[in-house]
Amino acid sequence: MKILAIDANSILNRAFYGIKLLSTASGEYTNAVYGFLSTYFKICEKENPDAVCACFDVKGLTYRHMEYAGYKAGRRPPAPEFLQQIPLIKEILGYLGVACYEMPGYEADDLLGTISRICEETQDCTCVLLTGDRDSFQLAGPSTTIKYVSTKAGRPTETDYTPELVADTYGVTPQAFIDVKALQGDASDNIPGVAGIGEKTAMQLVSSFGGIDEIYANLETLPIRESVKVKLRAGEASARMSRRLAEIDRYAPIDVCPCTLTMAQMDGPKLYEILHRLELRSFILRLGLHPGQPVPAVPDAAEKGAPQPAQTATQENLPGLLEQARQTPVYLLWGPNLSWIALRISGKNHLVRRALVEDRAYGDFLERLMAADIVKIGHDIKPLYIALFARQMDFGGFAFDTAIAAYLVNPTSGRYTLAHCASNFLGTELGAEDCLYAEDAFSPLSDEAGTRRVLGESLAAVEGLHQALVKKLSEYEMEKLMYEIELPLVEVLASMQFIGFKVDAQRLSEYGQQLGQRIAVLEAQIYEIAGEVFNINSPKQLGELLFEKMGIPGGKKTKSGYSTDADAMAHVAAYNPIGTLVLEYRQLTKLKSTYAEGLEKVISPDDGRIHSSFNQMVTATGRISSTEPNLQNIPVRTELGAQLRHMFVPETGFVLVDADYSQIELRVLAHVAQDEGLKAASASGMDIHRATAASVAGVAPDAVSAAMRSRAKAVNFGLVYGMSEFSLAAQTGMTRREAHEYIENYFAKYPGVRRYMDTIREQAKERGWVSTLMGRRRWLPEIRSTNRNVRAFGERVALNTPIQGTAADIIKLAMVAVYRRLKAEGLHARLILQVHDELIVEAAREETDVAKRILEEEMTRAMPLDVPLVAEASVGEDWYAAKG
């Protein structure tokens, strides 16, 4: 039989520090649990063991402390966030049927060593020891394999160490590992070893002359340097004690018999309960778990028994369904290209399929169902809006989007599918959603009964989520955010995505060709200086050529070779022009592949426009993101990159009207900080960075130099995002002392900013969350962490979120207002793009002035603040020209 023995503390520790801190909405930390279980299931699938056991350390002194009082002295205590997760994994392992062992006075290593010995002494029994600690290499034997977990190139990996691999890799046998550690010591365990003997020397001594018994028995005749002998003589007592500390005790008094060490039966309901509580849905699905006693999050939404499958409606049923729908809210789902619509009305589930209804009747049914007089609730309704835009169908009456609500309630989850939301908020597990959205969901070969069952479950989940999330939004005081910003914004984003942005494909192709010609010239120049042809895109080849073959000084080696990043190339440029050429080559190849060629691939052949996806449920601060392609990331910092904006053009007879906010985040800061100086600077109409520089330096605004303005800009943008004096010095070229004095002078001039920063930190620590002016919340479990770096991150987010999040809310309010007003005034103009603080409208040429006026008016009055919002619009024949 095969036994998998897990060094639980070691695997948990690696998971805790290898995965960013994760927590549930209620504040329970889960990153170590998640990483441990991921490794556990992965290894179980690979090894297919007959039994599994896990060994844990116990808090308190061991026999090694009795031998040496300094054993493990100086170790920092484990983070509370880590300690909190140990009992969680023990509980989960118990429900999985995994035996857990721990023993006062002994370490987990000793228990693992004992278990592996017992396996070796048992006929036809092997042991796989899962660990992230090299100390266990000494246990590798004929029937014991050490499965060592590590990280390579940022990815977790595991290596099976047999006695042969240990010897091949390190040049010593597994047992000799103990002697190596006895000589070199171990700083992590505070094992002293022999002073002055490092790992390399220890390895050489043991591999050449044997263990410390052999070394000391023959010390005077060994062919080694006298200086090493002196160290060995002086450290003999320490070496022998260190060996006793380093050796794993393989005879710990634990009662383990491989024959009886079988997996207990998994307790599915309890396992489901704890994994659901910890929001670890992927493991629930992996194990196929279901609640033992389902308890809906909203009792009044509960039904007796399982939801009924959706019943297929006939054409004759459609008028009756519409009449029912006018009497009560309708919960709905829909299929690809609106090939079907599923409805839940008064607790009953219905399925309307286009294939079973005449085209005209189906179209009429859709039109009436989507009308504003029928109240509809769905999950992630933007794709439905896009499908309705494609059918040129008027629609309204959408009262709630459960995906958007789930995002507002838990903005850092990152997972808002119906199944995830049902699991997290209702405690129910849905069937596979994929079957609903397959093109052949209702083909003769499909499981139609199964699909209708999943539809019934999914529709019931939409209703349950609606009731649960309405209460959550009320509890968190986010109704205004939901109904005034996020819900109406869904239609705006769907419209922008459907309309797209026209691209001059011919000009884009010519741009790519020009880049290709320049890239070819750069390649030739680089090869000429190098004296050979090589792969410029290979960091390994480039590093070896620059720092070895060409002998350029200052090369910094990493584990994978020489660093060739931008800083390294800037350093090279000081010695050789090849550095400048490589930097330009990289810039141009990036422009060519990502933008010239990348954008060309996503131009729709139907209308010559790029239809980017605008994502509303991604960022925790509320900012909108753009993907496939990311039109918010078109380069602007270099002239050559900015030329790409020439390729984005309006339709014939139209122009582009572009408006962006002036320093919106500083204006938000002035409002929330209630700093009179910053408010005055914002209201003055003067450039805020120039006003800040003048105020801090005590000079007239017209005496502010470019360098002074740059410093003020760095501080204005940086301080509320946690900028330190070190960062300011690095960014501006100031000394650290100058940076410190500048920041102090800044706070002296703007005391309200410091007061705001101190207040928001304290509020975040007290509440565990921060919010924007519109009530958008972000939970911050990190801010209470005992880990300094994690806590510092939490504090930076606490400072950042109210400012950046409020700015995001303002631009969203403006988008909704501009979209509605363009429609209300019957214009052909339409909103087509948002880039952070910038809006772009494509307007008929004769509507230019009114579109420009609408943009400026709606943006400047989007949210009342104590300082004015400033937005200026400009017009152009392409994006570059319109941006001004």
Task: For tokens 């441990």, name the residue.
Answer: 36
Strand partners, 101: 55
Residue 501: its pLDDT value, please? 97
Report the alpha-carbon distance of residue 28 to residue 656 in Å, rounded: 49
DSSP H or E stretch at residue 558: strand 557-558
Encoding tokens for residue 153? 């190139």
* pLDDT at residue number 67: 84
| Exposure on the CB side of residue 37, measured as CA atoms within 13 A | 26
Is the confidence at residue 26, as pLDDT, over 90?
A: no
CA 223/CA 215 separation, integer angstroms? 11
- Run of H or E including 157: strand 155-161
Contact 21, 31 (CB under 8 A): yes
- State the pLDDT confidence band at 81, using cuts at 50, 70 and 90: confident
If phi over 0 gives left and psi between -120 and 50 gives alpha, with beta otherwise, what is residue 608? left
Average pLDDT score over residue span 300-323: 79
- Burial of 226-250, coded b for 16+ CB within 10 Å and e otherwise, reads eebeebbeebeebbebbbebbbbbb
Least confident residue range of 110-124, 443-457, 556-570, 736-750: 443-457
- Cα–Cα distance measured from residue 369 to residue 157, given in angstroms and rounded to the nearest whole number: 53
| Mean of the per-residue pLDDT values of the chain | 89
The average pLDDT across 734-752 equals 87
Residue recorded with tokens 């809210």: 329
Token digits of residue 34: 């998640």
Q: Note the pLDDT of residue 414.
A: 79
Instruction: Read off the pLDDT of residues 349-363 as tens digits, 9 standing for 90 and up.
Output: 999 999 999 999 999
Going by C-beta distance under 8 Å and a sequence separation of 6 or more, which residues neighbour residue 661? 667, 807, 810, 811, 837, 838, 859, 869, 870, 871
Half-sphere exposure of 34 (CA within 13 A, CB side): 20
pLDDT one-digit tens code per residue, 808-834: 999 999 999 999 999 999 999 999 999
Of 687 and 206, which is predicted with more confidence? 206
DSSP state for residue 615 in the 8-state scheme: E
For 587-607, the pLDDT digits (tens) are 999 999 999 999 999 999 999
Q: Tell whether the model's pLDDT for residue 617 goes beyond 80.
A: yes
Report DSSP state, residue 766.
H
For residue 45, pLDDT over 50 is answered with: yes
| Half-sphere exposure for 870 (CA within 13 Å, toward CB) | 13
For the chain, how are helix, strand and coil distributed in percent, rounded to 5?
Answer: 55, 15, 30
Among residues 354, 330, 356, 353, which one has the least CA distance to residue 343? 330
Ramachandran quadrant class, 210 (left: phi over 0; alpha: psi -120 to 50; beta: rest): left
d(CA 779, CA 579): 45
- Which of 778, 792, 790 lies closest to 82, judged by CA? 790
Question: 343 near 354, Cβ under 8 Å?
Answer: no
Contact between 53 and 3 under an 8 Å Cβ cutoff? The reply is yes
DSSP string, 309-377: PPEEPPGGGHHHHHHHHTTS-EEEEE-GGGSEEEEEETTEEEEEEGGGS-HHHHHHHHHHHTSTTS-EE
Exposed/middle/buried for residue 712 (C-beta within 10 Å: 0-12, 13-18, 19+): buried
Distance of CA 830 to the CA centre of its chain: 33
How far is CA 128 from each of CA 158, 256, 778, rounded to the nearest angstrom?
A: 12, 16, 43
Please check the confidence at residue 78 and state whether its pLDDT lies above 70.
yes
From the list 285, 296, 295, 379, the residue with the least C-alpha distance to 332 is 379
Q: How confident is the model at residue 437 (pLDDT cuts 50, 70, 90)?
A: low
Q: How confident is the model at residue 264 (pLDDT cuts 50, 70, 90)?
A: low
Mean pLDDT of 217-225: 90
Q: Is the pLDDT of residue 305 over 60?
A: no
pLDDT band at 559 (very low <50, low <70, confident <90, very high): low
Percent of the chain with pLDDT over 90: 59
pLDDT(549) > 50 = yes
**Looking at residue 497, what is its pLDDT?**
97
Which residues, including other chains, have CB under 8 Å from residue 367's CB and lie 6 or more apart? 393, 394
Task: Specify the pLDDT at position 304.
Answer: 43
What is the model's pTM?
0.74
- The tokens 């509960």 sit on which residue? 302
Distance between CA atoms of residues 493 and 631, nearest Å: 14
Nearest CA among 818, 773, 837 for reference residue 481: 773
**Cα–Cα distance measured from residue 179 to residue 560, given in angstroms and rounded to the nearest whole number:** 30
Going by pLDDT thresholds of 50, 70 and 90, the confidence category of residue 91 is: very high
In 432-559, where do the E strands start and end?
A: 501-502, 557-558
At 753, which amino acid appears? V
Helix (H) or strand (E) holding 238: helix 236-246
CB 171 within 8 Å of CB 203: yes
Q: Is the pLDDT of residue 301 over 50?
A: no
* Side chain identity at residue 839, one-letter code: L
Convert the pLDDT of each residue in 489-540 to its tens digit: 999 999 999 999 999 999 999 999 999 999 999 999 999 999 999 999 999 9
How many Å apart are CA 691 and CA 712, to the nearest integer? 9
Copy the structure tokens of residue 579: 């550095």
Question: Tokens 């005449």 sit at which residue?
Answer: 358
pLDDT in tens, 629-658: 999 888 877 888 889 999 999 999 999 999
